[in-house]
Amino acid sequence: MRQLILFLAKYRSTLLLIVFVLIALLRHSLKNPAAEHRLNNMGFGAVAGIHDGLSSWKQYWRLEAINEELARENARLRSGGTRASVNHFSNSTDYDFIPARIVDYSYTKRNNYIIVHAGRRDGIRPGMGAMTANGWIGSVVEVSNAYAHITPILHSKGNIGARISEKGLGELHWDGTDPSWATLFDIQRENRPMPGDSVYSFTRTSVGPSTLTGTVISAVQNNEDLTWTAKVALSADFKNMNWLYISKLKDVESLDSLQIPAL
Amino acid sequence: MTIVKNIFWLVLVLLVQWGFLQDLPLTVYGNPYLYLWFFLWLPFGVTRMGLYAIAFAVGTIMDAFEQSGGAHTLACLALVTAKPWVENALIGYRKSDDSEGVSHLALAPYLTTSSVLVLLHHSILFTAENYGFDNLVLLAVRIIVSSLITLVLLAITHALFSKKYAA
């Protein structure tokens, strides 16, 4: 016993360091899965509140960009209700679109995040989709009473299914470099993606409607299985975001009742 | 009194980090982390246990704000672990009750010490954020660009707050 106490006393600082490193490693590894862990979200509401306080100050520097974005969105809405000019998702009547102000976001990291000022009290739940007027953003992973944490496409676990009209499904993946483009994998070999093709998000119905995500810039064919890999310019501007919409399926109960597992 | 002063500096550094520097549209290759100035400002006399506790606390705050798991905590712990060794190697022996830190040195020893520490911190931070060594070239660019911006900001901070010591 005496030996043990002496040992602990002698190496107390090293032991403290080991404990701290282990806690940090645990927290870090729990952050890796797409589903967030409770441990990382202790105090999320408080942190988001501080972000909110700072954002009112930071937003001042972005007023010009906000103004331009709103003017452009307004012009697009005024120019008429044709499918080509108005963004797609607002035509969907199966969803409510909850507007949410962005409190804090990042685009320079490998794993980016967005925090919005709309939470459980506004009817937001984990798993809902998020989009701006320009395109698909990501999905909600964590909700506090007043705030929500969104994992955008710009995340190592942010891959989504994506579809080119009449050319089939693929998987959209961001490779961690430039926030303005991503890569679309696994388009069938007979459907060559052409530059200018629109890419739409393709998620479960409960997440969100199929939404414009980007346009194809170029495509190369894989030598082994002859599938196409396309470089896609993301239509949402991840560097400049101020408001986004969160899609909420209206009739979620009837969908849930269909998903009861077979006995 | 010293503790109150330390906490004041910590809050100030974190406010500057989050009010001005975070998400500054300078470059897509990473982000400057000026809050490291707090570690350079800490007196040489702080014990190892104290250093670990401070690094853990500061790292946890940064991680909570940045939603980055434990990346900042790991990087800060590595920084304070290496700090006494780097100081001994580059500056030489110091009295243990010394109440001044690296930031009280003249610009040249300050910059050499801090560049080693910043490079170490940023390497661990961005590697942890990347969950490994995928996209190695991009990772290296990120580490170097961010370290350079951080060092420029650290030099400016030194000029502002350590004027009487600056060479």
Within 8 A of B67 by CB-CB distance, chain A residues are 31, 40, 113, 115, 149
Helix ranges (H only) for chain B are: 2-16, 37-41, 48-66, 71-90, 107-130, 136-161
Nearest CA in chain B to A9: B49
Give phi and psi for A60, each to the nearest 5. -55, -40
Radius of gyration from C-alpha coordinates of chain A? 22
d(CA A43, CA A131): 26
pLDDT at A101: 87
Q: What are the DSSP E strand ranges found in A180-211?
A: 181-187, 198-201
The length of chain B in residues reads 167
* Residue of higher predicted confidence among B108 and A37: B108
Which residues are paired to A143 by β-bridges?
Answer: A148
Q: Provide the pLDDT confidence category of residue B95 given band limits of 50, 70 and 90.
A: low
Contact predicate A94/A39, CB 8 Å: no
- Inter-chain contact A110–B69, Cβ cutoff 8 Å? no
Which residues are paired to A126 by β-bridges?
Answer: none
pLDDT digits (tens, 9 = 90+) for B127-143: 988 777 877 888 898 89
Residues 33-92 of B with CB under 8 A from A: 47-49, 52-53, 55-56, 59, 63-71, 73-74, 77, 81
Q: Point out the residues of chain A with pLDDT beneath 50.
A: 35, 83-86, 263
Q: What DSSP string describes A85-130?
A: TS-GGGG-SSEEEEEEEEEEE--SSSS--EEEE--GGGT--TT-EE
Q: Which run of H or of E encompasses A178?
A: none
Contact predicate A96/A245, CB 8 Å: no
pLDDT digits (tens, 9 = 90+) for A120-174: 888 888 888 998 888 889 989 888 888 888 889 988 888 888 888 888 888 998 8
Q: Which run of H or of E encompasses A234?
A: strand A228-234
- Inter-chain contact A28–B74, Cβ cutoff 8 Å? yes
d(CA A138, CA A159): 9
Structure tokens at A125: 């739940």
Within 8 A of B127 by CB-CB distance, chain A residues are none
Structure tokens at B22: 């975070």
d(CA B39, CA A219): 48
Alpha carbon of A162 to those of A97, A203, A211: distances in Å? 21, 8, 9
Mean pLDDT across the stretch B51-74?
A: 88
Any A CB within 8 A of B133 CB: no
pLDDT digits (tens, 9 = 90+) for B6-48: 888 888 888 888 877 776 666 667 788 889 989 988 888 788 8
Nearest CA in chain B to A15: B49
Residues 87-116 of B with CB under 8 A from A: none
- pTM for the model: 0.77
- Inter-chain contact A176–B130, Cβ cutoff 8 Å? yes
> B55-59, B69-73, B105-109: which has the minimum mean pLDDT?
B105-109
Kindly tell me if the per-residue pLDDT of B148 is higher than 80: yes
Strands A160-164 and A243-249 turn out to be unpaired
Give phi and psi for B19, each to the nearest 5. -80, -30
Within 8 A of A12 by CB-CB distance, chain B residues are 49
Region class of A117: left (phi > 0), else alpha (psi between -120 and 50), else beta: beta
Residue B27 within a domain:
yes
Rounding to the nearest 10 degrees, give the CA dihedral for residues A180, A186, A192, A193.
-20
Return the closest-CA partner of residue B130 out of A112, A43, A181.
A112
Contact predicate A134/A177, CB 8 Å: no
- Inter-chain contact B30–A24, Cβ cutoff 8 Å? no
Contacts of residues B139-143 at CB distance under 8 Å and 24 or more positions apart, as own/partner, are B141/B29, B142/B29, B142/B30, B143/B30, B143/B119
What's the domain count of chain B? 1
d(CA B81, CA B101): 15
Residue B166 within a domain:
no
pLDDT at A194: 86
pLDDT at B26: 64
Q: Could you give the angle at the alpha carbon of B38 between the alpha carbons of B35 and B42, nearest 5°?
A: 165
Nearest CA in chain A to B141: A177
Alpha carbon of B79 to those of A74, B36, B37, B75, B76: distances in Å? 50, 9, 12, 6, 5
Any A CB within 8 A of B27 CB: yes
pLDDT at B48: 87
Measure in Å the smallest separation between the Cα of B23 and chain A Cα atoms. Answer: 6
d(CA B153, CA B159): 10
pLDDT at A223: 85
The length of chain A in residues reads 263
Residue B142 within a domain:
yes
Within 8 A of A57 by CB-CB distance, chain B residues are 19
Q: Domain range spanning residue B102?
A: 2-161
CA A109 to chain centre: 14
Domains of chain A: 38-155+239-249 (2.40.10.340), 160-234 (2.40.10.350)
pLDDT at B29: 73
Residue B167 within a domain:
no
- Inter-chain contact B70–A175, Cβ cutoff 8 Å? no
